[in-house]
Amino acid sequence: MATCKCIGILTSGGDAPGMNAAIRAVTRSAIFHGYRVKGIMRGYKGLVTNEIVDFDSHSVSNIIQLGGTILKTARCKEFTTPEGRKLAYENMRAAGIDALVVIGGDGTLTGAKIFAEEYDVPIIGLPGTIDRDLGGTDHTIGYDTALNTILDAIDKLRDTASSHERLFFVEVMGHTAGYLALYSALASGSEAAIIPEMETEVDQLGELINHGFRKSKNSAIVIVAENPETGGATALAERVKKEFPEYDARVTILGHIQRGGSPTARDRILASRMGNAAIEAIMEGQRNVMIGVLNGQITYVPISKALQHRKQIDRDHLELVKILSI
């Protein structure tokens, strides 16, 4: 893309640990290759309200270890309208931005896809989401940190669950994808993971009580993926009280604590590699692709394919949780 001289960066949607490492990598890789860089504050909202600032190498100093995003993030109703996107495009052009790097999850990439189609803007997406729910990539920025945060909480809960002989339902994020629930259950030695991928197939709670509790254990931890439709962990605990009153069921909802904290080494390295790859993609003339990692190798995924995110959960790993909890 010989005509590209200035690259804009934004973070949008839910924050994820490692976003700052990605911002740093995009900025410094761009500068290294001779591009000017603009930081766009508060996601797409900043494009609409013209919150666009000059970025240099110093702008991203000492941020690789920080959670959250120095560019901030916000919801933007205006960007969902044609009028809002027109204003965003006009502001972007006025600022001299030729291409965009957007960091976020499926909502962010959906906005990018529409914007790119309407205005022929070259956009490169980076998968910044703790849910790991985008297609075409084995990992997303923030997932590893969130998994370790959950693990730390479960280890602490295990102490009190054992002391009080209770059944703990721990609710984690990911209402359309059960990766956090499944792998935190496996890593923490939890008794079960109740995930959205299995909802229509079996009564996961009934199966757990009937098959998983015919043993000598006097306490248990069950990881539940949040689900606004079914009520998540709270609804399951209420059901236990009604149908299985012999169990003392408690609920812990980890909530937004899962999104915070200093990113792990794995997330920092992933974000750094992907940020650099975004600039390489722009130099190659790529447009409207997400940077992914498959089998350790950087790959370009069409944004439309990334948004289909219908990866199958590994049933063997689900079975492994059950085997190891006896």
Burial-class residue 143 by CB neighbours within 10 Å (0-12, 13-18, 19+): buried
Both tokens assigned to 254: 């980890």
316 is catalytic: no
Neighbours of 297 (CB within 10 A): 8
Q: Based on the domain organization, do 246 and 267 belong to the same domain?
A: no
CATH number for the domain harbouring residue 300 = 3.40.50.450
Residue 320 lies in a domain: no
Residue 316 lies in a domain: no
DSSP conformation class of 297: E
Q: Which helix H or strand E contains 298, and what residues bound it? A: strand 297-302
pLDDT tens by residue, 187-225: 999 988 988 877 655 577 777 776 655 455 667 899 999
Q: Based on the domain organization, do 133 and 50 belong to the same domain?
A: yes
Alpha helices per DSSP H over the chain: 19-32, 44-49, 82-94, 106-119, 143-164, 179-188, 204-207, 232-243, 265-283, 303-306, 315-324
Neighbours of 320 (CB within 10 A): 14
Q: Based on the domain organization, do 152 and 125 belong to the same domain?
A: no
CATH number for the domain harbouring residue 170 = 3.40.50.460
* The last residue of a domain, from among 259, 278, 294: 259
pLDDT at 247: 81
What b/e readout covers 244-258, taking b as 16+ CB neighbours within 10 angstroms? eeebebbbbbbeeeb
**Domains in the chain: how many in total?**
2
Neighbours of 265 (CB within 10 A): 9
Q: Based on the domain organization, do 121 and 238 belong to the same domain?
A: no
Q: Based on the domain organization, do 128 and 235 belong to the same domain?
A: no
pLDDT at 196: 81
Neighbours of 241 (CB within 10 A): 11
Q: Based on the domain organization, do 66 and 124 belong to the same domain?
A: yes
pLDDT at 253: 96
pLDDT at 2: 47
Residue 1 lies in a domain: no
pTM for the model: 0.94
Residue 317 lies in a domain: no
Q: Based on the domain organization, do 132 and 148 belong to the same domain?
A: no
Can you spell out the DSSP letters for 96-109? T--EEEEEESHHHH
Residue 112 lies in a domain: yes
pLDDT at 215: 53
Q: Based on the domain organization, do 13 and 127 belong to the same domain?
A: yes
Out of 131, 133, 144, 267, pick the active-site residue.
131
pLDDT tens by residue, 240-249: 888 888 888 8
Give the separation between CA 201 and CA 226, rounded to whole angstroms.
Answer: 18
Residue 51 lies in a domain: yes
Q: Based on the domain organization, do 241 and 98 belong to the same domain?
A: no
Q: Based on the domain organization, do 174 and 130 belong to the same domain?
A: no
Q: Based on the domain organization, do 16 and 112 belong to the same domain?
A: yes
Residues of the chain below pLDDT 50:
1-2, 214
DSSP conformation class of 301: E
Residue 315 lies in a domain: no
Domain assignment of residue 209, given as a range: 144-259
Q: Based on the domain organization, do 282 and 138 belong to the same domain?
A: yes
State the angle between helix axes of 143-164 and 179-188 in degrees (0 to 180), rounded to the nearest 10. 50
